[in-house]
Amino acid sequence: MNRRTTLNVKISTSAPSHILIFLPLLTYSLYWGMRKSMVGSDTLTYEAIYRSYLRKDVQIIETSDAGFLWIMHLASIFSSEPKSLFILICLIISVSFYISGVIFLKKPIYLAVYVFILITSPIYMSINTNILRHGIAIAIAILGMSIVYRFGKNILKIPFAYLPTLFHSVAGILSLPLFIKIIRYNTIHIWVLLVIISYFSGYYSTSLSNFIPDDYFDYLSGNFEYRKGFRIEFVAFSAIPIFMTIILPFRRMSPETKWVFNAYLLMNGAALVMNFISYSDRLLTNSWITLPLLTTLIIKDINTVGYRRKDNRLIFTGVVLISIIIANIGIA
């Protein structure tokens, strides 16, 4: 049996498992796509935007991101009800995340763990119910990263890095580290430096505010009941992958895990520096939403390259899995 035949056999035998594992994620996306208007802090806003788009409101058409206009146009083909928009967005997000998982994780057992962590993540729920444009942008960015990883073509980085900005400029810019592919060096020291800098955000916020895109100007100048500045709880949650290196040191990570790990640290550190903006946790979403994939990659490494003894693999897999579940409950 030649290599191509072997590959075809593997694909054909794993396809039913991949479809079966996707069903919970599909159900999840349909559930939130059909949500009531009062569910989610931004649902009413997006309903109003969609209805304005259907009325061909000039302001909406001129100010909305090009990618989001395409999404609204596609949704309008099926129905004028806002639920068609929400279902479409949730499906795009779920398919993007799932394909990324299939590419990076391969084996159904790890894919099942990944889906479980996703649907129990409050961050994943947030991009399906609240920050929809941001959610689409980061979902497409993660999908783009996985495709670049799969084919190994650097030329693909340019279009896939640009595509998320068509849906949300800030989220698209913050997702750029996903396409850098840093695997030789550990960027923890850069993250620590950015955390230290973020503690003194009151000294540089005025200067840095000049570079804030229009999308976030209201968050910068508005009177919101939101605590700005350094927040230790955000830093603690952000440090979860660093704590996991106690179990799986960077040097023992697989190349793909190192890639996602370093991208996470750079995205997270950059967002922490922007803590002078109201709802800066939305900026942190770019990094936090990669935690399900990164956690599962770490679990995969523990069981494939990290440890030889079976009891060690079981214990450390359990520790990592329980830790991320507790962290998700804590931030929910």
**Domain residue extents for the chain:** 3-331
Residue 186's CB is within 10 A of a number of other CB atoms, namely: 18
> Consecutive 10-residue runs of the chain (332 residues): their mean pLDDT?
44 70 95 91 91 91 91 94 95 97 94 96 94 94 94 89 92 91 92 95 73 56 63 92 95 95 96 84 92 97 90 92 89 70
Q: What is the C-alpha to C-alpha distance for residues 179 and 326, in angstroms, rounded to an integer?
A: 30
Taking a C-beta distance cutoff of 8 angstroms, is the pair 80, 54 a contact? yes
* CB half-sphere exposure, 181, CA atoms < 13 A: 16
pLDDT at position 218 is 52
pLDDT at position 226 is 64
| Torsion (CA) 227, 232, 233, 234 in degrees, nearest 10 | 80
pLDDT at position 6 is 44
Nearest to residue 143, comparing CAs of 325, 301, 289?
A: 289
Residue 329's CB is within 10 A of a number of other CB atoms, namely: 10
Kindly report the pTM of this predicted structure: 0.89
Q: How far is CA 200 from CA 194, 205, 228, 232, 274, in A?
A: 10, 9, 12, 13, 11
pLDDT at position 245 is 94
pLDDT at position 315 is 94
Length of the chain: 332
The radius of gyration computed from the CA coordinates of the chain, to the nearest angstrom, equals 20
* Residue linked to tokens 């999404």: 71
Q: What is the C-alpha to C-alpha distance for residues 160 and 296, in angstroms, rounded to an integer?
A: 23
Q: What is the C-alpha to C-alpha distance for residues 68 and 168, in angstroms, rounded to an integer?
A: 8
Q: What is the C-alpha to C-alpha distance for residues 320 and 302, in angstroms, rounded to an integer?
A: 10
